[in-house]
Amino acid sequence: MTTPTPNTRHLGILLFDQMEELDAIGPWEVFAWWTQHFPGDGYAATTFSADGGPITCEKSLVVQPHHSAASVPALEVLLHPGGDGTNAQLDDPSHLQWLREQRSHVPLMTSVCTGATVFAAAGLLRDRPATTNRTALDQLAQIDSTITVRGGERYVDDGDLITSAGISAGIDMALHIVGRLAGAARSREVREGIEYAAEASN
């Protein structure tokens, strides 16, 4: 495990009850493999939940975060997963306000699957292109009609905000983020390292 330094830039994955497992674990594999094999790039991956306590995922996997929202280091990238747990977040004023606060100082906000609907509810996607799980595309448009909804795309990069489609698409988005932060060659090395291909060859 790489020991962060004062200059380390942190990639944080939010964890919460009833999140979809692969929305978080897929990107975690990408970020953790990258940062542990190439510490010289200056990044570290971490996870956090609201109170730092363990969370139970949609399919019953229990995960212990590294931090609480209060103790997590300042983030360069924040990743918000999706899953059934996002239904409650859509009407949670404190969570939506917390996201708006993060938006003001986190350089890159990202979502996987229905995490985009929570971003929309917080007003983060107003007048922007975005995608989400194919089953939630209509919901995304209903939450905020100003969003240019892009179905059929694995992820949509709009500069300081990236949204991805459902579940496994988060892996593709995470590899794209590695490419943005450390270059296309590094992204290819990570893809090869985790033996991942966006489309199976057989």
The first and second tokens of residue 5, run together, are 């330094």
Among candidate residues 27, 66, 23, the one with its CA nearest the CA of residue 46: 66
Helix-helix angle 169-182:21-37, to 10 degrees: 30
Catalytic-labelled residue, pool 113, 125, 149, 165: 113
C-alpha to C-alpha distance for 114 and 111, rounded to whole angstroms: 8
Q: How far is Cα 168 from Cα 51, in angstroms, rounded to an integer?
A: 27
Residue for token pair 């794209």: 176
113 catalytic? Reply is: yes
> Dihedral, CA atoms, 126, 127, 133, 135, nearest 10 degrees?
90
Sign of the torsion formed by the C-alpha atoms of 64, 112, 37 and 76: negative
Q: How far, in Å, are 4, 100, 123, 126, 182 from residue 137 at the CA level?
A: 38, 22, 16, 15, 31
**CA-angle at 13, arms to 52 and 163, nearest 5°:** 145
* Residues labelled as active-site residues: 113
